[in-house]
Amino acid sequence: MPEDNRMLEEVILQAINITKLYPGTTALDKVNFNIYKGKVNVLIGENGAGKSTLMKIIAGVEQPTSGELILEGKTVRLSSTKAANENGIGIIYQELNLFPALTVAQNIFMAKEKRKHGFLLDKNTHYKVAKEVMEKLEHPIDPNTMVAELKVGQQQIVEIAKTMIQQDLKILIMDEPTSSLSNSEVEILFKLINELKSQGIAIVYISHRLEEIMRIGDRITILRDGKFIVEEDVKNVDVPWIVRNMVGKDTLASYVDPDKTIGDEIFSVDDITLPKLGGGYLVNHVSFSLKAGEVLGFYGLMGAGRTEMIECIMGHHKEAGGTIKIDGKAFKPNSVIHQIKNGMGHIPEDRQREGLIQTMSIEQNMTISSIKQHTTATMINNKRALDRVKEMIKLLYIKVADPKFSIMSLSGGNQQKVVIGKWILTNPKVLFMDEPTRGIDVGAKEDVFKIMNELSRRGIGVIFVGSDLKEMISVCDRVLVMSNGKITGEFEKDEINEQNLVKASAAGHKE
């Protein structure tokens, strides 16, 4: 690893020869990682490369099998998150680590409570400080608001706010901090990062958004398959260099299958609405149709109503209006079970909270929605279920040693593939994929897009909701754009470009 005297003076933490073994898996294999004071230290690699495992070790969540951590020149053992916090290390997790049934203020001060008279919680201080932090993040949410009432992007802001009250912060780990943020929220975060850098705080920044890395990063370290690959100054690299070192090859420019056949209309929605408290609509009289084998994109900015539209169609909102039609059969969007029986599947935006059951195994998570297909009159046919799971693991390129392992043993990208596999096993006619590439690397994205093509070749209609312009252009046969709950644009393949999508998404949009 390249080192000189200047760099050694700047290094606040060194991870040396870190190895982490799990049953059947080597998550980290003698990995070296330097964290430089007052710099944005980018850590990047495909899902399963070992990034999150390394960060959990530095944050005191996991213990290394071997290797050592040297903090400010001294060997340390970070035996818990409390020990890491006491050494000035904070972390913002990729998967939200909040308590939905508690308020914003309670979440921000969890395990860092202020007390008065020795034992009473100082709720006034909690409220005041939480209000100040949220205002600094330009999100003046009432600290007494329950986290369950917040959208995913707002919850991500609360996750960031939790670290801002930590005393004597030296290192802040940010694991995919922008994955749920709007463009304006990303700008606020970047302003905060620059402020922290100016205070000498080291930022460890994990992101799959390569354009962010080039903009905000100072130093980049790449892992692949649990091993250290390279460390370099960001100013000396470009995006193709990053991709080559991450995946060992250049990625495809387009994922559209030119040979597939798009069939007749199989699905349509008519006049879907979702009223908003105080008047107006979150989903405002939306109608569209889908053909067999078509990949239909829904693009829009945060708050455009895309996720709410899918929730209405899938039967999550009893107050939703409109009509759905599959293969000519019309019905109301009234229940999730009814929609699944009618041939619809839904890969949600928040895979941890809505797509997976964390206490179950990989096999159990994948078969839970299709259990009747693996059940005889009296019992579950475990062999049939396991055979189908193994088929999905092969089809979806899931990196797993044993389907019996816990779902939490997988990387984020492989967890996402398990969610996809779960819904494929229900034999859907229409599959909604809400931000399926959120928080996964370029290699895993390529796998997801290959899966989309395979599903569309089978005649399944795919509705792909995304906020990445390049993905929309590369993947979709047709794109609908939403803004403020309405469809504001429709573009066929030869019309799908950044200019058209941005213009349509800005129609009536309010920041």
Residue 351 lies in a domain: no
**Separation of alpha carbons 74 and 72, rounded Å:** 6
Provide the pLDDT confidence category of residue 175 given band limits of 50, 70 and 90.
confident
Average pLDDT estimate for 448-455: 86
Query: Would you say residue 144 has pLDDT above 50?
Result: yes
Residue 349 lies in a domain: no
Query: Would you say residue 301 has pLDDT above 80?
Result: no
Which of 131-145, 272-286, 400-414 is predicted with the least confidence, judged by mean pLDDT? 400-414
Give the CA-trace dihedral at 398, 404, 409, 413, to 10 degrees.
20
pLDDT at position 146 is 93
pLDDT at position 233 is 95
Which of 140-144, 208-212, 234-238 is predicted with the least confidence, judged by mean pLDDT? 208-212
Provide the pLDDT confidence category of residue 272 given band limits of 50, 70 and 90.
very high
**Separation of alpha carbons 24 and 55, rounded Å:** 21
Instruction: Determine the 3-state secondary structure of 315 from DSSP.
Output: coil
Please indicate, yes or no, whether residues 20 and 87 belong to a single structural domain of this protein.
yes
Identify the domain boundary among 401, 427, 453: 427
SS3 content of the chain, % helix, strand, coil (to 5): 35, 25, 35
Please indicate, yes or no, whether residues 468 and 371 belong to a single structural domain of this protein.
no
Identify the domain boundary among 399, 427, 455: 427
Residue 350 lies in a domain: no
- Which segment, 6-15, 126-135, 440-449, is predicted with the most confidence on average? 126-135
pLDDT at position 145 is 93
Beta-sheet strands, E only, within 112-156: 115-116, 120-121
Domain that holds residue 297: 262-343+429-511
Residue 352 lies in a domain: no
pLDDT at position 159 is 85
Provide the pLDDT confidence category of residue 227 given band limits of 50, 70 and 90.
very high
Is there a contact between 363 and 422 (Cβ–Cβ < 8 Å)? no
Query: Would you say residue 251 has pLDDT above 90?
Result: no
Q: How many domains does the chain have?
A: 3
Query: Which are the contacts of 123, defined by CB distance < 8 A and separation ≥ 6?
Result: 105
Please indicate, yes or no, whether residues 41 and 169 belong to a single structural domain of this protein.
yes
Is there a contact between 293 and 459 (Cβ–Cβ < 8 Å)? yes
pLDDT at position 6 is 45
Q: Which residue has the higher pLDDT, 509 or 221?
A: 221
Query: Which are the contacts of 450, defined by CB distance < 8 A and separation ≥ 6?
Result: 255, 397
Residue 287 lies in a domain: yes
Query: Would you say residue 237 has pLDDT above 90?
Result: yes
Query: Would you say residue 511 has pLDDT above 50?
Result: no
Residue 257 lies in a domain: no
Identify the domain boundary among 427, 453, 472: 427
Provide the pLDDT confidence category of residue 288 given band limits of 50, 70 and 90.
very high
- Which segment, 88-92, 246-250, 299-303, is predicted with the most confidence on average? 88-92
Please indicate, yes or no, whether residues 364 and 286 belong to a single structural domain of this protein.
no
pLDDT at position 250 is 54
pLDDT at position 378 is 57
| Token couple for 128 | 């005041």
Please indicate, yes or no, whether residues 418 and 437 belong to a single structural domain of this protein.
no
Average pLDDT estimate for 1-6: 46
**Separation of alpha carbons 356 and 31, rounded Å:** 30
Provide the pLDDT confidence category of residue 302 given band limits of 50, 70 and 90.
low
Average pLDDT estimate for 132-160: 85
Q: Which of 361, 47, 31 is nearest to 179 (CA)?
A: 47
Please indicate, yes or no, whether residues 292 and 402 belong to a single structural domain of this protein.
no
Residue 274 lies in a domain: yes
Please indicate, yes or no, whether residues 471 and 500 belong to a single structural domain of this protein.
yes
Query: Which are the contacts of 178, defined by CB distance < 8 A and separation ≥ 6?
Result: 185, 186, 189, 207, 209, 212
Please indicate, yes or no, whether residues 63 and 196 belong to a single structural domain of this protein.
yes
Please indicate, yes or no, whether residues 13 and 86 belong to a single structural domain of this protein.
yes
Please indicate, yes or no, whether residues 219 and 268 belong to a single structural domain of this protein.
no
Is there a contact between 188 and 134 (Cβ–Cβ < 8 Å)? no
**Cα dist from 13 to 91, 203, 244, whole Å:** 15, 11, 27
Please indicate, yes or no, whether residues 324 and 450 belong to a single structural domain of this protein.
yes
Residue 255 lies in a domain: no
Task: Dump pLDDT digits (tens) for 23-44.
Answer: 767 889 999 999 999 999 999 9
Is there a contact between 323 and 269 (Cβ–Cβ < 8 Å)? yes
Please indicate, yes or no, whether residues 141 and 38 belong to a single structural domain of this protein.
yes
Mean pLDDT of the chain: 85
Task: Dump pLDDT digits (tens) for 340-360.
Answer: 888 898 888 776 667 788 778
Q: What is the CATH number of the domain that holds 194?
A: 3.40.50.300
